[in-house]
Amino acid sequence: MEKNLFQKYGGFSKISRIVLDFYERLLDDDDVGPFFDEVDMARIVDHQTKFISSLLGGPTSYTDDQISKLHRHLTINTGHFDVLARILRETLADHGMEPDDVDTVVAALDSRRGLVVS
């Protein structure tokens, strides 16, 4: 039986470490870091771990409506989204994810761009 990417890369514990690193990088970025100034980081890291896990084929999922509702109060533009996607790509690669798998995850994220960008 073939493993999905969630299983291949170690499940929630490994994805959680990747997401923590991802958010450290996002917070250091001048363009997207300010979006997290007034955010409960423990809560968002938990949600993002579940979301990234779902992009990898893990046992969690978010509906388009949920994603849209979580972001509609923010003024996220295409440039912000591009920065986020670039940082995600770099983080996944730095944690040993194979290039084709990184492309798959970033493409899955990008397919939800219209739900996030205002």
Position 76 in a domain: yes
Place of tokens 């849209």: 68
Place of tokens 């509609």: 72
Position 5 in a domain: no
Position 2 in a domain: no
Average pLDDT over residues 89-97: 98
Burial label, 48 (beta-carbon count in 10 A; 0-12, 13-18, 19+): buried
Residue 16 in this model has a pLDDT that exceeds 80: yes
- The pTM assigned to this predicted structure is 0.90
Residue 103 in this model has a pLDDT that exceeds 90: yes
Position 54 in a domain: yes
CATH of the domain at 37: 1.10.490.10
Encode pLDDT of 27-82 as tens digits: 999 999 998 888 899 998 998 999 999 999 998 877 888 888 888 888 899 999 99
For the chain, what is the domain count?
1
Position 4 in a domain: no
Give the per-residue pLDDT at 1. 65
Position 93 in a domain: yes
Position 69 in a domain: yes
